[in-house]
A = this chain, B = another copy of it.
């Protein structure tokens, strides 16, 4: 009998374990031996769920785990928890790992095929006091638990969130749910730099109305600590913000330290570069997926780093099929994201104005106000839709939506249209679901498409 092929997976969250599961579905243990390394206490968890766990809307951490280590092992996956891979030796086809809880024992494990799913690392500027107790990132379930421990122990009720991107605004909501007074410090002139400034301004206004103090143009200079060394305030160039707890929501960068040391190809953001089958470029036996890779942006034609669980799961699925000798590809993304802060829904897909410029595109923009349901139907809510379309061709380039209930997921209409390379004029005739409780006669996205069609014509060549 032939020896089983050896698959080694570095990272046991969404991408890594989706790859393991899919590969196991296609290959028996005697055909493919799967070993996976995870340095945290959890596998296959929803990091995106952490704000809702912290906010108390969701139980945790177990509810956030899609599949436990035990469940993976029951499917003949040799999963090594609390074990960190410390070196990739591609020449000899082996990885070195260290057990984090058992005295740091080191082992070499050989592979025929390697999957890198090392995820991302929260950005943490090297400022005085930034590593003090009471300053929390929210990337892993371990991080979430640590933050909750701090909230339990804390007597005060003042929170400072650094960064007003997706994680920042979601954590602001979570802390409000916990009864905190929340101040958000953002270096840029608007919250949500994933939106154009005019749309970000709508989010800013709404956050103010919700009682979230949002300080824009705030350059954080450090964290002040008390006598016990715990965080007590965040300082900026302009002032000092008292804090019983500090949450860092500055976004993440790809965690590719190992890959870089092994000489694997990285993009501008530091993410691994792969082909369409999620194989690391130039390396026949190495695949990579999830938050540690750059993905192809189908609208700009460039690779970008986008850390999102839904992509990580899809990557894992594709990698699992390919390492098991099947065939699947991940064609790329269009840059869709949706989020909420309290009852405000925020969504985008495609390119912002700045991104469209950078991609060398000429375009028109339009902004419309519309409603989620027929104007006369109870519970109809206003929303603002901004749309970018290419000049001359009229091709859709991007959509941003800020509104209330029923606003966010409308971005999917544009996401599919972008994927199909549709023009805004063709979009105006889209046959979308219409009934008064669900939509006005003209869906808000189509109202924007109509206006964009006119703008494209008016702009000429």
Contacts and interface: CB of A to CB of B under 8 A. Distances in A.
24 contacts: A52-B377, A57-B378, A58-B378, A58-B436, A63-B376, A310-B439, A310-B442, A311-B431, A334-B431, A335-B431, A337-B433, A337-B435, A338-B433, A338-B435, A338-B439, A349-B433, A406-B409, A412-B413, A412-B433, A416-B416, A416-B417, A416-B430, A416-B432, A419-B420
Nearest to A336: B431
Interface stretch (A3-11, A141-149, A421-429): A421-429
A308 interface: yes
A309 B166 CA distance: 38
A60 B420 CA distance: 41
A104 interface: no
Interface string A341-378: 00001010100000000000000000000000010111
Contacts of A434: 48, 308-310, 336-338
B46 A436 contact: yes
Nearest to A314: B429
Contacts of A309: 434, 441
B438 A52 contact: no
A325 interface: no
Nearest to A331: B429
A437 interface: yes
A340 interface: yes
A58 B433 contact: no
Interface string A389-432: 00000000000000000101111110111011010001011111
A387 interface: no
A64 interface: yes
A165 to B, nearest CB: 13
Interface in A267-308: 308
Which 10 residue pairs across A and B have the least CB separation, nearest first?
A: A420-B420, A338-B433, A310-B434, A416-B416, A63-B376, A333-B431, A336-B431, A334-B431, A412-B432, A411-B433
B339 A435 contact: yes
A14 interface: yes
A64 B374 CA distance: 9
A49 interface: yes
A14 B442 CA distance: 12
A59 interface: yes
A35 interface: no
Nearest to A346: B435
Contacts of A408: 433, 435, 438
Contacts of A52: 376-377, 436-437
Contacts of A317: 428, 450
Nearest to A426: B331
A320 to B, nearest CB: 13
A333 B434 CA distance: 13
A321 to B, nearest CB: 11
A415 to B, nearest CB: 5
Nearest to A166: B435
Given A309-B441, A431-B349, A59 B376 contact: yes
Nearest to A379: B57
Q: Which among A331, A335, A419, A420 has the highest number of chain B CB atoms within 10 Å?
A: A419
A419 B431 contact: yes
Q: Which among A406, A431, A436 has the highest number of chain B CB atoms within 10 Å?
A: A431
Contact of A377 (B57, B378, B438): B57
Nearest to A295: B431
Contacts of A14: 441
A67 to B, nearest CB: 12
A214 interface: no
A59 B375 CA distance: 12
A442 B409 contact: no
